[in-house]
């Protein structure tokens, strides 16, 4: 099926991030406010039925992959039931989940049987005190256990590591060695101005180039993987000895907007064509006023056509600043 979700730059949306909640059981400094977090009221949040209906409409418009995000998606009760329903939607080829791992090990079997295909688990430090500093909670052991259990039951597992200068950039080599020892891909993410705490500064961005320099100094030469999905946000690299794969998501220093095929549905029912779009398009109100599937489809097509160039335009005008958007309210 040819996608109808095409923007004025010729980009075609094939991947949908669905946030199911803005709430989280961590308080990562690069994501959520530390205090006075204003949560969405429960009446503002899309029901599972509404998410399923919209997911089906997106699938009919060419979306092939759906990723469940948050906040922390596993704090929403019975999330496996939502995944099971999405798995039945025609044209959806895979379903992924992005989680911090605190609750994952307790639900791993239910999630596997629901039709979930892959899981990305966030982990920013192997040091317990640093883990607590970065996440606002204890739980390193639970996250490590979740990674192991996810691999044991056969999930496609990736680790997401946000690298912040002065916080955890000294662990880049350790994370790469983890990838080499376990066979799990670790994806290093540059610190983006999507933080609820307002601490983002350009000098806190530890660049892809600097990460590669650390890896080559500490382990050995890396080079791009020859065959990889060109539209994927992470650019994969392998080591010269053929052991281990790491990825880099260099949104700040090497934006990949021209290859973007991702769109987002927030838990409060906004359609975002870009991670930096704010506030997005209020699809929920349209849906709850009784719009038909065809009317919703035409609305999404119209919104997609207005998609902006992306973060590259902000960089061009020196427009990067803290809190450009709040990651916990839009989904990763």
Half-sphere exposure of 109 toward its Cβ, with a 13 Å CA cutoff?
A: 1
CA angle 83, 89, 95 (to 5 degrees): 40
For residue 1, the model assigns a pLDDT of 43
Cis peptide before 212 (omega within 30 of 0): no
- In degrees rounded to 5, what are phi and psi of residue 11? -80, 140
Sequential DSSP letters for 33-81: -SS---PPPTTTSPPHHHHHHHHHHHHHTT--EEEEESS-GGGSTTHHH
What percent of the chain lies above the pLDDT cut of 90?
82
For the chain, the structural domain boundaries read 15-330
Mean pLDDT of 158-172: 98
- Give mean pLDDT, residues 241-268: 96
Neighbours of 127 (CB within 10 A): 15
Question: Is pLDDT of 3 > 70?
Answer: no
Q: What is the mean pLDDT of residues 75-84?
A: 98
| CA-angle at 97, arms to 139 and 72, nearest 5° | 45
Q: Specify the DSSP class assigned to residue 129.
A: H
* Residue 331 in this model has a pLDDT that exceeds 90: no
Strand partners, 140: none
| The pLDDT of residue 184 is above 60 | yes
Q: What are the phi and psi torsion angles at 285 (to 5°)?
A: -60, -40
Question: Can you tell me the distance from the alpha carbon of 332 to that of 323, in angstroms, rounded to the nearest whole number?
Answer: 15
What's the pLDDT at 9? Answer: 94
If you average pLDDT over residues 194-200, what whole number do you get? 85
For 108-151, write each residue's pLDDT tens digit: 999 999 999 999 999 999 999 999 999 999 999 999 999 999 99
Nearest alpha-carbon partner for 51 in 264, 262, 303, 299: 264
Average pLDDT over residues 234-238: 96
Query: What average pLDDT does the structure give for the chain?
Result: 94
d(CA 24, CA 10): 35
Residues 158/184, Cβ–Cβ less than 8 Å: yes
Could you give the CA distance from residue 202 to residue 241 in angstroms, rounded to a whole number?
34
**What strand order describes the sheet that includes 156-163?**
222-224, 235-239, 245-249, 185-190, 156-163, 118-122, 94-99, 65-69, 15-19, 262-265, 270-272, 281-282
CATH of domain 15-330: 3.20.20.70
Mean of the pLDDT values across residues 89-98?
A: 97
> 214-233 pLDDT, tens per residue?
999 999 999 999 989 888 89
Helix (H, G, I), strand (E, B) or coil at 113: helix
Model pTM above 0.85: yes
Whether 163 has a pLDDT exceeding 80, the answer reads: yes
pLDDT at position 332, please?
A: 67
Q: Is 106 exposed, middle or buried (0-12, 13-18, 19+ CB in 10 A)?
A: middle
SS3 118: strand
Chain CA centroid to CA 153, Å: 22
| Angle value at C-alpha 73, between 72 and 76, nearest 5 degrees | 110
pLDDT digits (tens, 9 = 90+) for 41-75: 999 999 999 999 999 999 999 999 999 999 999 99
Q: What is the pLDDT of residues 4-32, one digit of tens each?
A: 899 999 999 999 999 999 999 998 888 88
């Amino acid at each position: 099926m040819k996608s109808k979700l095409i923007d004025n730059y010729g980009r075609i949306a094939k991947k949908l991030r669905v946030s199911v909640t803005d709430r989280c059981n961590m308080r990562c400094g690069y994501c959520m406010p530390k205090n006075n977090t204003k949560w969405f009221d429960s009446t503002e949040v899309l029901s599972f039925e509404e998410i399923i209906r919209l997911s089906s409409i997106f699938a009919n418009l060419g979306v092939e992959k759906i990723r469940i995000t948050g906040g922390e998606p596993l704090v929403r009760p019975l999330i496996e039931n939502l995944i099971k329903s999405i798995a039945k939607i025609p044209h959806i080829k895979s379903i992924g989940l992005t989680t911090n791992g605190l609750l994952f090990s307790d639900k791993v079997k239910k999630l596997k049987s629901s039709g979930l295909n892959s899981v990305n688990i966030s982990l920013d430090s192997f040091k317990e005190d640093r883990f607590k500093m970065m996440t606002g909670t204890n739980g390193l052991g639970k996250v490590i256990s979740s990674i192991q259990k996810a691999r044991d039951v056969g999930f496609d597992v990736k680790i997401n590591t946000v690298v912040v200068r002065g916080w955890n950039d000294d662990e880049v080599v350790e994370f790469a060695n983890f990838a080499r020892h376990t066979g799990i891909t670790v994806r290093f993410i540059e610190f983006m101005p999507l933080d609820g705490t307002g601490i983002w500064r350009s000098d806190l961005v530890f660049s892809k180039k600097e990460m590669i320099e650390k890896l080559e100094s500490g382990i050995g030469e890396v080079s791009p993987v020859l065959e990889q999905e060109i539209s994927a946000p992470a650019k994969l690299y392998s080591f010269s000895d053929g052991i281990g794969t790491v990825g880099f998501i260099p949104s700040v220093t090497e934006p990949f907007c021209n290859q973007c095929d991702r769109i987002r549905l927030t838990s409060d029912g906004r359609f975002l064509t870009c991670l930096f779009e704010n506030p997005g398009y209020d699809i929920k109100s349209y849906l709850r006023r009784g719009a038909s599937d065809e009317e919703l489809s035409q609305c999404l097509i119209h919104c997609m056509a207005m998609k902006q160039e992306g973060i590259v335009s902000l960089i061009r005008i020196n427009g990067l600043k803290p809190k450009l958007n709040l990651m916990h309210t839009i989904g990763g």
